[in-house]
Amino acid sequence: MIMILKIKGDIELIYVNGKFYEKEEAKISVYDHGLLYGDGVFEGIRIYNGNIFKLKEHVKRIFQSSKAIYLDIGISSDEMINLIQKCVEKNNKKNGYIRVIITRGEGSLGIDPAKSKKSGIIIIVDDINVYPDVYYEKGMKIITSTYRRIPVSAFDVRIKSLNYLNNVLAKIEAKRNNCLEALMLNNDGYVVECTVDNIFIVKNNILKTPGTCYGALEGITRNIVLELSKEMDLKSEETLISRFDVYTADEVFLTGTAAEIIPVISVDDIDINDGLPGGITKNIMKKFKESI
């Protein structure tokens, strides 16, 4: 007979609509509009050495996302901050990842969200899944996906919604091409971001990233990098970027809560900086680590 011993700290306690459940027991209704229609928003947050990194910023973003889809979370942002902190404490997690999901809640099979009377709140505290260490040292290769990012004309992608199907398809495409990330373009063919990361290029000592108006998520890590560039006296621009700009950049790197900052050394088999992580990228990676 095999006995599985669970020790405190190994048990994930997941918050679902007011109660804590063990992983296997954490469930939502099949009538939840988050499941039926991707009707909801989410956040991914890091815990470093017991501190929840940029918690206020993430909570602000989830409230803005909710507001933009007429979704009343049902609690205040201070209450949300306290709740997230409580979830981390309950799980006794010193380093890890928090996923906050707000759904429209339980409704009916029809699309009308008015049937969902109460939003759903799910908070998962778990270990973090990052890219292999070697990519941080030697850089990673990416491809351009054939799947486009949701256009701003469909809905503003600053809404961090549960609609990630095209990003999921782009990730599958990346993996089929032996890459872990893929560049996504907008409907006009301009570069906006990757499946779960923002993109930066460096050209002639100027840091550039696609403006959110072109369809990029306003990443929390992206904002940190833009702030760091000021401290580093590095000129930065939020601008329109084409694939040509990426291919001919001096340096390319990606940013995200899970990825942090990761150098890119090849895009669509075109080498960037002769296939080596660039100096400015390495400097920003260092400064970012120091800011944690």
- Which residues are the active-site residues? 160
For residue 152 the two structure tokens come to 């701003």
Find the shortest distance in angstroms from Cβ 261 to ligand PMP: 10
Q: How far apart are CA 203 and CA 272, in angstroms?
A: 11
Find the shortest distance in angstroms from Cβ 43 to ligand PMP: 8
Interface with ligand PMP (CB under 6 A): 44, 167, 193, 196-198, 217, 219-222, 255-257
Q: Which residues pair with 267 in a beta bridge?
A: 142, 270
Find the shortest distance in angstroms from Cβ 234 to ligand PMP: 19
Q: Percent helix, strand, coil in the chain (nearest 5)?
A: 30, 30, 40
Q: Of the two residues 40 and 107, which places its CB atom closer to ligand PMP in the complex?
A: 40
Q: Of the two residues 208 and 222, which places its CB atom closer to ligand PMP in the complex?
A: 222
Q: Of the two residues 66 and 167, which places its CB atom closer to ligand PMP in the complex?
A: 167
Find the shortest distance in angstroms from Cβ 198 to ligand PMP: 5
Closest residue to ligand PMP using C-beta atoms: 219
| CB contact burial 212-246 (16+ within 10 A = b; e otherwise) | bebbbbbbbbbebbbebbeeeebebebebbebebb
Phi first, then psi: give them for residue 234, nearest 5 degrees: -105, 120
Q: Of the two residues 256 and 263, which places its CB atom closer to ligand PMP in the complex?
A: 256
- Identity of the residue numbered 52: I
Q: Of the two residues 116 and 144, which places its CB atom closer to ligand PMP in the complex?
A: 144
Strand 198-203 with 206-210, pairing: antiparallel
Q: How far apart are CA 56 and CA 3, in angstroms?
A: 42
- Identity of the residue numbered 87: C
Find the shortest distance in angstroms from Cβ 256 to ligand PMP: 4
